[in-house]
């Protein structure tokens, strides 16, 4: 076997980076340059799309809402054009987490943008928000509380320096609260009190935990909190610092004004006015529930966190590797065996990556991680452990991973043994089916070759693609002392044949 370094498949690190955050209220894009390891922002763009407002009672995105989003993305696409794929990340948040037809919108968005779009879980959104905030603040010692009020969810994080310690995403946002409490455009005492009480009830689930951990400073990181800060400064209640007494005063003034139509007097932009009372109610609920005394505002947010995440991967500081290691430790995975399976799978991938169209960094990464974690389900039960493992990887909170990347990892672990059926790939986008099917076959073969668990180096096998199949040639005599492996591979021929894939064995 002629080993090809996987570095040959790695593109040169990009110096231009771009991130798009498709939020429930606004879409944001930031373009930056990576200079000597530092991120220098070149341009920021943002538009009120109110995607979350386009969810119908059955949680389907209306065509009108989709068109609003796509129109915005068409404008973003022109600025993105030519940016290396490795330097771009585009994510959707709460509205797309909820939308039952999110896949349809994502397919249309990818066609417009020319880059993949992924949905991130709430806690991953919280982690990225903290990453963005922590890089825009001074590197002070002491814990800080960060709150980001979005259109459909609110993220709360306690962290110190660049490391989050507590992460939470609550299902309340300025668009959903506006629709529930201020849809008629009025601001009454009862409406405001009900909205604040609702926010406090949502916060009950984390109140004790967050208050017991504590913090030395608190920071707001969203358009709603920025608007509150600006209004306090405009009214000369404070210099923009958000304090308990200032929030009480602003609450009184909002009720006295009584109508969203009058909020222009506070200096609010027209597109911010109708969601301002809702964002205020959520923040007031947080102040009361968590006993916050003072808060400052920072421009750092999810999109900046995405940029730092891209930069971290480029500089080999990938939080996803830490997530994999944490899962190995938590579920007592036998790491040396996983490493042997990984080495075998990569030896196969290096030969077949180009002809099978698997020659991207993402393909290599998911293959490596699936091998490292293929036995994670043993922590639950030996019976059907591949299914248990797939469930853990699909639904665990994995820092750095999108929902799509976790789903792909779960598919490879689910399909690494026993029947190779179509049900393994249910719910997978048809465009990814052939790719994941081939990656799954590589994991399966690597697991079989390392079945004896003696931590052998991969044999010098050769792989040649065939139409609907693969020719696998082993060194002469290799099977003489490995009859179990030969039997395994012959059984595998039968498994793969049921999916119209022909595995030919030669040599050995």
Give the other-Cβ count within 10 Å of 204's Cβ. Answer: 9
- Asked whether 242 and 220 are in contact (CB, 8 A), the reply is yes
Alpha-carbon separation of residue 471 from 25, 466, 502 (angstroms): 52, 7, 8
Secondary structure string (H, E, C) spanning 368-434: HHHHHHCCHHHHCCCCCHHHHHHHHHHHCCCCCCCHHHHHHHHHHHHCCCCCCCHHHHCCCCHHHHH
Residue with the two structure tokens 């880059």:
115
Q: Residue 236: beta bridge partners?
A: none
**What are phi and psi for residue 463, nearest 5 degrees?**
-120, 135
Expressed in percent and rounded to 5, the helix, strand and coil fractions of the chain are: 55, 15, 30
Which residue matches tokens 């304090």? 243
Strand partners, 90: 20
16-22 and 88-92: which strand pairing? parallel
Does the pTM surpass 0.85? The reply is no
State the CB neighbour count (10 A cutoff) for residue 171.
Answer: 13
pLDDT per residue, tens digit, the chain (508 aa), is: 344 444 444 455 678 899 999 999 999 999 999 887 778 889 999 999 999 999 999 999 999 999 999 999 999 999 998 889 989 999 999 999 999 999 999 999 999 999 999 999 999 999 999 999 988 886 667 899 999 999 999 999 999 988 999 999 999 999 999 999 999 999 999 999 999 999 999 999 999 999 999 999 999 998 999 999 999 999 999 999 999 999 999 999 999 999 999 999 998 988 899 999 999 999 999 999 999 999 999 988 899 999 988 888 877 777 889 899 999 999 999 999 999 999 999 999 999 999 999 999 889 999 999 999 999 999 999 999 999 999 999 999 898 888 889 999 999 999 999 999 989 998 888 888 999 999 999 999 999 999 988 888 889 999 999 999 999 999 999 999 899 999 999 999 999 999 899 999 998 7
């Amino acid at each position: 076997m002629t080993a090809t370094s996987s570095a040959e498949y790695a593109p040169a690190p990009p110096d231009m980076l771009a991130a798009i955050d498709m939020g429930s209220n606004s879409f944001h894009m930031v373009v930056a340059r990576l200079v000597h390891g530092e991120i220098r922002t070149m341009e920021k763009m943002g538009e009120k799309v109110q995607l979350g407002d386009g969810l119908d009672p059955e949680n389907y995105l209306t065509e009108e809402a989709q068109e609003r989003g796509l129109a915005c993305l068409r404008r973003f696409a022109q600025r993105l054009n030519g940016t290396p794929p490795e330097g771009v990340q585009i994510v959707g948040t709460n509205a797309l987490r909820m939308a039952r037809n999110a896949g349809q919108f994502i397919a249309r968005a990818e066609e417009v943008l020319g880059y993949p779009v992924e949905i991130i879980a709430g806690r991953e959104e919280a982690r990225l928000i903290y990453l963005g905030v922590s890089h825009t603040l001074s590197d002070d010692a002491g814990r800080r509380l960060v709150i980001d009020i979005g259109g459909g969810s609110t993220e709360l994080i306690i962290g110190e320096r660049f490391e989050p310690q507590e992460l939470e995403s609550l299902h309340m946002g300025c668009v959903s609260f506006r629709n529930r409490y201020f849809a008629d455009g009025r601001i009454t005492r009862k409406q405001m009190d009900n909205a604040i009480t609702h926010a406090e009830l949502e916060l009950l689930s984390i109140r004790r935990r967050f208050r017991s951990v504590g913090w030395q400073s608190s920071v707001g990181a969203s358009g709603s909190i920025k608007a509150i800060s600006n209004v306090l400064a405009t009214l000369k209640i404070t210099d923009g610092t958000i304090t308990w007494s200032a929030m009480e005063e602003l609450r009184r003034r909002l009720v006295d004004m009584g109508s969203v139509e009058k909020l222009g007097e506070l200096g609010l932009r027209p597109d911010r006015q109708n969601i301002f009372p809702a964002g205020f109610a959520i923040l007031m609920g947080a102040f009361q529930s968590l006993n916050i005394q003072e808060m400052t505002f920072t421009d750092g947010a999810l999109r900046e966190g995405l940029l730092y995440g891209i930069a971290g991967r480029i500089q080999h500081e990938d939080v996803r590797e830490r997530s994999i290691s944490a899962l190995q430790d938590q579920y007592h995975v036998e790491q040396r065996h996983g490493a042997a399976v990984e080495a075998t799978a990569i030896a196969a991938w290096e030969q077949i990556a180009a002809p099978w169209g698997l020659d991207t960094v993402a393909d290599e990464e998911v293959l490596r991680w699936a091998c490292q974690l293929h036995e994670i389900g043993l922590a639950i039960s030996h019976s059907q452990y591949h299914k248990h493992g797939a469930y853990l990887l699909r639904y665990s909170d994995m820092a750095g991973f999108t929902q799509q990347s976790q789903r792909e990892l779960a598919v490879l672990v689910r399909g690494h043994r026993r029947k190779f059926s179509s049900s393994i790939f249910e719910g997978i986008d048809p465009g990814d089916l052939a790719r994941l099917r081939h990656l799954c076959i590589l994991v399966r073969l690597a697991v079989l070759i390392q079945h004896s668990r003696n931590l052998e180096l991969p044999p010098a096998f050769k792989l040649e693609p065939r139409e609907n199949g693969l020719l696998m040639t082993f060194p002469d005599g290799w099977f003489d002392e490995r009859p179990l492996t030969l039997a395994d591979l012959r059984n595998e021929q039968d498994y793969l044949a049921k999916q119209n894939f022909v595995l030919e064995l030669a040599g050995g």
